[in-house]
Every structure is written in structure tokens, then in C-alpha cells.
Chains A and B, each alone.
Chain A
Amino acid sequence: MMVTQRSSDEWDRPAPVAGSYAFVVGDDPEDPGSLLEVSMGPQHPSTHGVFRMDVVLDGETVVKLKPVFGYLHRNHEKIAENISYLGSMPYTDRLDYFCSLTNNWAYALAVEKLAGISVPERAEYLRVILSELTRLQNHVCLAGFLAQDMGASGTPLMYGFREREKILDLFESLTGARMMCNYMRFGGCRCDTPPGWLDEARAVVDSFPRFLHEFENLLSSNEILMSRTQGIGVLGKDLAVGAGITGPCLRAAGVDYDIRKVDGYGIYPRFQFRVPLGEHGDTYDRYMMRILEMHESLGILKQALDGIPEGPIIDPKAKLRGFRPKAGESYGRIEAPKGELGFYLISDGSPSPYRYRVRPPSLVNLTVLEDLCVGHNVADTVIILGSIDIVLGEVDR
């Protein structure tokens, strides 16, 4: 068998389809072939779903990066404009499938604003409890995935999943499903807690700090983690505000903006909690924001579980079927675990919204990916992407 040396353009790969590659690489006449274009994704172990990064590398340093998404597009907004208001509720579960309950709340909030429905006290408390539990399980998973992207053999991820399992069990016994909860309704919640559920929730909340302690022992002071994340992917204040970044990523850059404080939606003004702020805006700060927020969430959960009153769970005037809000528009937003999640609705008085628009935190936070990654190593792009915390169901909708 004869082996001949072939030049790079003789590689018998199919001709690139127009537009499938973001950049033309290697046609610089002065320096041919010095750059390497790598398509990370859509099938890649670290892209958190079907997400593609077109990366141009100089050695291992990122020169250009273009995020490519849309592989999971499923027409969420257009579907919602063609079915009833209630019918969109289970679809919102599938936006950010880690945090279905916060998605439910944001959508319910938008419709309640649109139709002027009030929510009973107990339902408000339940919503706060569920959304903080959601925040806990989202953040533990995020920290686990981040460590996994750094190559930690799954240990932190499994610790995260161990705790998440307990929270998902709570969700299942209350809402019937572990991830696609479909629990909130316009004017309250779907069903009341089964007997003993609040005690189970208290037990989970009480045992959670032990896990957080374990997690911080394992990771937060680990030299390898610190050297991998500190000074990596610095997101400046101006860029963060200018690009509309929200959530922990924004707070890691040192901007005090938490919709729970700013809007005070639901009954959040009743609870005592602090908003942690970062200074450097790097990956380590983004990671620590999540850890510190979990401590605060535990505080809110304790207060809410102590203060939850008896009473009806849903506004008796709220209609399940034949729901036709009068013409108008509304924007409901909440502080989802990933950032500001907003639903913008226009009603023309018909049973389905005239316009339905989601403001997904994952997508907006993803827009700065190139700014964060350029100049860093290819290994860093992975953890920067992990620290932004995207869920492709929400990015692509």
C-alpha cells in the first residue's frame, strides 16, 4: 500500500455547503493554514444540548467564535398564538426544562396582568416555595455541569443530582411530574399540597446546607478550579448592561439588579434576603454567585415554609375553559434562575393571544459569548459557556 502526502485541500471531505461555515479559514495569502477552524457541536459533549460553536483557533487560542443555534427550534411562540391561553402552559415547561415552575410562573404572571386576576395568599406562598426550590436545583446542576466541563469525572455533578433528586421528588408528589410540572394556573395553582408535603419540603430544605458545605469543600477552594476560572471570561459592567445580560451573570459583574427586589413581584417584598454581588465578572464569580444565591434561597424557603397560610389555592373567578381576556397587552417577568424571564402578550379578545413573545434569559446571555471567549484557550470556551448557564430549549424555543 502506498501512502502519499496529501495537502490539506485534498482531504476528501464533502464540499462545504454555502453558509455552513462561519468563516473562511486558511486563505490568508501571507500566512496560509495558520488558523484552524473547529466546529464544536452540535454533537459535542460540552455544548449543553444541540448547540454549535464555530471556533477559529490560532494554536489553541480562540480568534473568532460564532455561536450557531436553532437546532432545537420548535415554533413555541407561533404554536402559542394558535392555541388557547391554557394550552400554552404545558409548552412553557419545555422552554427551560430545568426550571419548568419558574417558566409557569412567568407566563401565569403575564396572563394575570393581562386579565387582571388576583392570586390567593396560599398560592403566592406556594409559588415562592416552588420557584426557590427550582432555583436550588438549577444552581446545583449548573455548578455540577461547570465542574464536569472542567473534567471533574462527574463527582460534583452527581452530588448535585443527588440533591436535585430530592427536590424533583417533591415536585412529583405535588405536581405529578418531575420536570414538566405544568402546575401554575391563571389565578393560582392547580392543586393543593398533599398531606405532609410541607413537612417533606422542610426536611429537604433543612438537609440542603449539608450538601452545600460538601460542595464548597470539594470545589470552591480547589486550586485547580480557581486557576481554571479566575480571570477567565471577564464580563465587564458596561458590556453586561449594554447587552442586556440578566441574572447571576449580571450580578457577577457587580450590577445590583434582581427582579425579585426591583419588581417585587408575587410576595417577594415580604421576605428577607440579600443579593450577592461579584467584582471581577469572571467565571469564578459567576460560579460563586450561584453558590451564594443558594444560601439566600434557603433563607427565603425557610421563611416561606414557616409563613404559609391555609386557604384557597386558586382564584374562584378564574376560568379554566373559554378564557378570553379583553384586548390589551402585558409583560410579565420574573427572576428565573438564569435571569430575567419575560412573557409579552397581546390579546385581541380572542381565545388565543394575538402575539406571544418570550424573552429568554439564556438566549440574551449567550449573545456575549464571543466577547468572553476571544483570546482564551479552547478549553476555556467550554467552561465560559458552562458558566453562562444556557438551556437550549429556551435559546431555540
Chain B
Amino acid sequence: MFQAIDQIFVNLLRGFLGHLPEPIRPWAGLVISLGAILGTFGLLFGLTTVCERKAIARMQNRLGPNRVGPYGFLQFIADGIKSLTKEDIVPRSADKVVHFIAPLALLVPVVLTYLVLPFGRNMVVLDLDAGLLFYFAAGASTELAVFMAGWSSRNKYSLLGAMRAIAQMLSYELPFILSTIGVVMVTGSLSTVRIVEAQGPGDGWLAHWNVFTPWGFAAFFLFLIAAFAEANRSPFDLPEGESEIVAGYFLEYSGFKFALFFMAEYLGMFSSSALAVTLFLGGWTAPVSFLGFVPSWLWFFLKLGVLMALFIWVRGTTPRLRMDQLMDFAWKFMLPLALFLIPVVVLWDRVGRGWVGWVLCGPIVAAAYVWLGRALVGRRRIQLRTYRYASG
């Protein structure tokens, strides 16, 4: 029974493909899977935008969208219709071809990254041996599209935004990838499916999620911070910082092209959160074995939802960093810490993965965090201040 629910989508696809002639089956499978991914995450994108607006509104003690549909949840349809019917304006001096291609060039690699993400047991489109590498390769090519957009618009703000985006995404690519090395080392595989299976409860009752290790905890947060930066989300939304450079690289886009940028940004956010779930939060595995009856895909989307909530929560709270601070943070804090975690992983693996590892590795990681953080803050002489009052 539980098995059937768990595998319902896999069996549906297999059953449907059974009716097709043999030669086109793999292609049809790919197309159907892609369609399902686009449909699911497209819907999730719409719902997330509404949830984000409502959640941030509540954090700000406002009501948020509540007019279209039940509790305003159909707002995204209205927004979609609006952006579809809007006039598509291309600046006169823009490089029209590049301007047209850029949003597509951003969306395609983002969608490609979904191919290697396991959404549930047996629910992965391509189980590549080097799935993680494929993910990073596809994810990194979004930078080109961002620069295409900024450059082709012939707008100074767009250019500034594109320059910022390139610098930021390249810099954060390093901690983004380096923080996952520990996971690869411990699992001994680059395949996302293997990584998830290695984190499952196995024979015991408790799951071995990577986040429940000292190095994994630190790496998870490094990965998340880098994911924030890769997705251009607050507090790293400098490329589109609306108070400084208006909207950054997609300033000159309107109508549906703007919607594509918006969608690609959210899909990128989903995909990096999904990777965080896969690498650190045990993918589709249940945290304890007696909860194993809950379908695996439901676990995956639950964890994804939690990470989305975190993204939204942080966006509602923090101001934006400045470019040089952003760079400092990437190169002087995150990169050393990510590099430092690699020997810690070795130590964790050698001394055994139990409480001895915790006692040894925990303080080391904490000390590294405090030391690097102090150095970062101290270099800029940032401190809490006390104030005096005029006498009399």
C-alpha cells in the first residue's frame, strides 16, 4: 500500500511508456519527465511567489494579496496574465538578438539542473555517475545569460548589475562547490542518488543526514549562503538592488521576458534548495525509520518547503550587503572555512563517526568560525557603539 503510493508516479510513467513503441521510449520518458518537472515546479513557482508575498506581508504586519481566489492564492495567475499581455519593449539601442536570447539562455540551464535531482525513491530523470558535476556545470552557465542580458540592454544600470552579478556568482561558485566536497568524500560517489541513499536510516532507526555532523552542519550553512548568493536573493541581491541600480541586469526587460527572468530566478532557487536537501538533509529519506510510510516525494517537497520558508524569512529580515563586503565574505570567510572543512571531514572519517567525532570536530569547526568571523569583522572595525549625551 505505502509502496504503491510511494512509487505511484514511477509506475504511472512506466505504464504509459509500455504502450509506446520500443525505440522512442527513452525519449518519450525524458520529454514526459521534463514536462512533469516544468509543470510541478512552474506551479510551485507561482505558489511560492504568492506565499512569499503573504509571508513577508505578515512579517511586516500587512495582509498581503488576498483578493484573487481563496486567500489570494490565485494571485500568481492574475500576475501571469498581466505579464503575458504587457507590451514587450526592446530599447532602441539594444542588441536585439542577444536581448531576446538572454532570458531563454538563463532558463534552459536552470531547467537542466533538475535532471539529476532525485525527487523521490527511483524518481530521477538521469542517474548520472557524475550527477553533481553535471549539476554544477549546468548551473554555472547561467552567468553567461545574466551578462548577456546586462550587456545587450545598453543601459548603464544594467551593465553595472551584470558586472556585479558576474563577480558575485563567480565568487560564490567556489564555496558553493567546495562545501559539497565533504559530502562527496564521505559518500564516495558523485551520483546524487547514491548520496541520498547513503543518508537513509539503513538498518538503524535514525537517518544519517549529513547536516547532523559538525562539518556537515557548517557546510550546510556555507552551501545555503552560497545558494542565496547564486540565486541573487536578499541579502545578496546586489545585481538587482532596486534602491541602487534600479533592477540591475533585467532593468530593460518587460512583459513575458521579465516573467521568464523572474521564473528562472525562482527555479534556480528551487534547484539549489533541492540540491541542499539532497546533499545535507537526506533527500527523500525520512528522518526516522518509523516515519518511512510517508511517501518519499512528500518528504522531499516538505524539506524543500522548509528551505523555501527560510529563504523568504531571510529576505524579510536583512538589508543588502555592499559589493566589496560581499567579496570579502566570499573570499576571506567562506572560502577558507570551506577549505578548512575538508581536513575536518577526513578527521571525522578516521576517528569514527560517533560522539568521539563530535567532541573532536565540533570545537574545531566552532573555533574556525569564530576566528574567521572575528578577523572579518575586526578588519573593518565594526562594533556596537555607546553614545554620550551633551552635558547640561
A222-B318, A227-B325 known; A274 and B389 CB under 8 Å?
yes
Q: A387–B388 Cα gap in the complex (Å)?
A: 20
A38-B157, A158-B62, A288-B385 known; A150 and B320 CB under 8 Å?
yes
A36: which B residues are within 8 A, CB to CB? 156, 160
The reply to whether A231 and B97 form a contact with Cβ atoms under 8 Å apart is no
Those of A184-209 within 8 Å (CB) of chain B: none
The reply to whether A292 and B387 form a contact with Cβ atoms under 8 Å apart is yes
Taking the complex as formed, is B242 at the interface, i.e. its CB lies under 8 A from any CB of chain A? yes
B320: which A residues are within 8 A, CB to CB? 150-152, 224, 228, 379
Taking the complex as formed, is A74 at the interface, i.e. its CB lies under 8 A from any CB of chain B? no
Taking the complex as formed, is A378 at the interface, i.e. its CB lies under 8 A from any CB of chain B? yes
Size category of the A interface is 35 or more
Those of A365-397 within 8 Å (CB) of chain B: 377-380, 382
The reply to whether B389 and A151 form a contact with Cβ atoms under 8 Å apart is no
Residue of A nearest to B387 (CB): A276
Taking the complex as formed, is B238 at the interface, i.e. its CB lies under 8 A from any CB of chain A? yes
Q: A147–B164 Cα gap in the complex (Å)?
A: 21
Taking the complex as formed, is B127 at the interface, i.e. its CB lies under 8 A from any CB of chain A? no
A153-B56, A226-B382 known; A277 and B244 CB under 8 Å?
no
B385: which A residues are within 8 A, CB to CB? 279-280, 284-285, 288
Taking the complex as formed, is B59 at the interface, i.e. its CB lies under 8 A from any CB of chain A? yes
Q: Which residue of A36, A45, A280, A285 has the most chain B CB atoms within 10 A of its CB atom?
A: A45
Taking the complex as formed, is B82 at the interface, i.e. its CB lies under 8 A from any CB of chain A? no
Q: A42–B377 Cα gap in the complex (Å)?
A: 36
The reply to whether A153 and B234 form a contact with Cβ atoms under 8 Å apart is yes
Q: Which residue of A12, A154, A258 has the most chain B CB atoms within 10 A of its CB atom?
A: A154
A149-B243, A158-B60 known; A224 and B319 CB under 8 Å?
yes
Those of B80-101 within 8 Å (CB) of chain A: 92-93, 95-98
A151 CB contact (under 8 Å) in B164, B241, B384: B241
B383: which A residues are within 8 A, CB to CB? 226, 230
A-B contact pairs, 15 of them (CB 8 A): A12-B93, A38-B156, A150-B320, A151-B234, A152-B317, A153-B234, A155-B56, A158-B62, A221-B384, A223-B382, A231-B381, A256-B390, A277-B387, A279-B385, A380-B322
Q: Which 8 A-B pairs have the closest CB atoms?
A: A151-B320, A158-B60, A150-B319, A46-B243, A275-B390, A256-B390, A274-B389, A152-B319
Which residue numbers of B lie inside 8 Å of A, CB to CB?
56, 59-62, 92-93, 95-98, 154, 156-157, 160, 164, 234-235, 237-238, 241-246, 315-325, 377, 380-385, 387-390, 392
